[in-house]
Structure formats: structure tokens, C-alpha cells
Structure 1
Amino acid sequence: MASAEDISALLQRVAERDRAAFAEVYRATSPKLYGIILRILRRRDIADEVLQEVYVKIWERAGDFRAEMASPISWMAAIARNRALDELRRKAPVSIEDHPEVQDMPSDDETGLASVLRGEDARRLADCLARLEPSRREMVILAYCDGSSRDELAAKYDQPVNTIKTWLRRSLAQLRDCLGP
């Protein structure tokens, strides 16, 4: 493990934009800084991002480090702690990934397709959908009514994602032309 003097000397070189010194600082200090960030945030995915931001700040502010004021690890730990606390205080939107159980909850809401089919344009849309090749019609319905992702469609149809994107784009263009202005 590098000593405080070693890290101080490396930070001086980082202030001069020495990439090799920066890599050494990272190797010597990232486990400790990551531990601080992870204890505060308790989520590895966010901690990983914050750690990157901390090292960007260390790169940018290495010239501000003063060995007579604090040890290098204390200075970097303060940056990591403050950035993690900023992230914690930030009002982050709730992610469905935080609550996967809601994905399986049944809904009484009408689907988008059912709503459209009740409207006056239902017959025109049904006629235009009928003109699509059956697999393309199913793909459009799966994507835009059921919410299937392009990756899911690629797996279902055993095609590359870019092919699925192209087929969807062409099918939508065909529907737009059929439905007219």
C-alpha cells in the first residue's frame, strides 16, 4: 500500500496531468473511496458512477491538494463523501428496477389498443393493420400496444435488433400511408 507521502507526490504529478500518476492514485485509493461511497449510497450501480465522478474531480482539482492541510486520503475521502451525500440528497426518480414486484401486478386499465379500437378510427386502423404481413402486424402490436422492447422482439423473431428496428419503421410508414392525413 502506498504511503501518504507517495500519494502526495503522485497527486502533484496528477496536477501536471500525468496519466500514469493518476492510474497509480486510482489503484492505491479506489478500494477505500469505493467503500466510503458504497456505505453511504448502498447501491453498487450508483456507487460505481459516483466513484467515476470522484476521480474526475480528483483529476481536475489535484492542484488544490495541500499536504500541510490534510493527508491525501483524507482529502480524497472528503471529495468522495461529499459527492456521495450530494447524490443521496438529490431527488432521484423512483426506478421500476427498485421495485420489480410491481411489474407483475395485474391492471384493470384498458390497453392502448382496446382504447383505439373503441374509437371511430378503429375500422380504418384494423383495415390498415390487415394489409401488413402477419408477422409484421404482430410485431407492431407487440411493440406499440403490449410494450415489447426491440431486444425482446429480436429474440422472439430470431433477428438482429437493427432488422427489427427497420421492420418496425417500415411497417409504421406503411400504416401512416394507409391511414392518410
Structure 2
Amino acid sequence: MSPIHYLEETTLISLLKNKDQRAFNYLYDNYAGALYGVIIRIVLSKTYADEVIQDVFVKIWNHVDTFDSTKGRLYTWMINIARNVAIDCIKSKGVQNEQKNQSLPNIVDDKEKHNFTIAEDVDFIGFKTVLNELKTDWKQLIEMAYFEGYTQQEIAVKLDIPLGTVKTRTRGALLELKRILKEYQ
């Protein structure tokens, strides 16, 4: 079988739902880097990120039938899977225990090693331009929630604002992102 060089999203989804291995290879080749960028920002460990990326692609492969194109794009769906699996990883007892037992210099070194900016992680997919169109407080919420792995409750505490405000602003930001992304299509 020869490799696939370009697929429209609808074709890719159809092939994935039919369990076409070439489509899976195409998906991995074209999206693994972007998904890995999101994952590493959350888990802060190459070892965990490598495990999480595998889990993400297994979930995508096994659950592609649940993807609904009327609710959003394939990439957005995959990003949400990656984010959720990464958050589940760092909240797992094993990871939390290991982090508690890690010496302070190692924790500091890890955070410094992985202190990326949004520009470094997602600019290659053009998302920096989209994020820069958001109001500053909305942009901050999206970065914290989707690129740093904070929950809405954690964002409320960190920014010292009510949880309801975080939820309202996040909804507004996501609606605005949706509007902006439609302009780019």
C-alpha cells in the first residue's frame, strides 16, 4: 500500500471509521506533532508525554465513530482527547506520588525545560494568529485551559475570580474562536 499524501477532512474521517490503516498513518504523520505540543505543556515530562500520545491515538482509533462533524472539526475533537488524557495522566495517583517524591531541583529543571510559549507550540499550525484576535482575558483563559491543562476551578483560584466568571468568559472565548475560525475557512 502506498502512503496517502493529502486527504480532505471528510475523506479522512470516513477512512478512519472504516479502519483504514493508511488513514491512521496519515493522521499520525500530520497531527502527532501538534497533539504532542499540547500534551507536553500539560504533563511536563517527555516520558509521560510519550505514553499519553500513544493513548491518545489509540482512543482516536477506537472512538472515531463517536466523532460528530456537526459539533466541530476533527482537529478540535482530537485536541480535546489529548488534553483530557494528559490531564488524567497528571491527576493519576502514580504520577502525583512520583511528583511528590521528586526533588525540588528536578521539578524546577523540568518546568524550565518545558517553559514553552504558545508561539513555539502552535504557531506552525497557525493558531497563534487566531488566539491573538481574542481579548486579552479570553486569550489567557484559553491558554490556561487548553495549553497549560488547568481546570476551570484552578483558573478561578489562580486568577482570583469567581468560577462563574471563568465559565462565562471561557464560553465567550470559545464562541469567538469559532467565529474567527469560520473566517479562515
User: TM-score by structure 1 length?
Assistant: 0.49
TM-score normalized with structure 2 length: 0.48
Q: Which of the two has higher C-alpha Rg?
A: 1
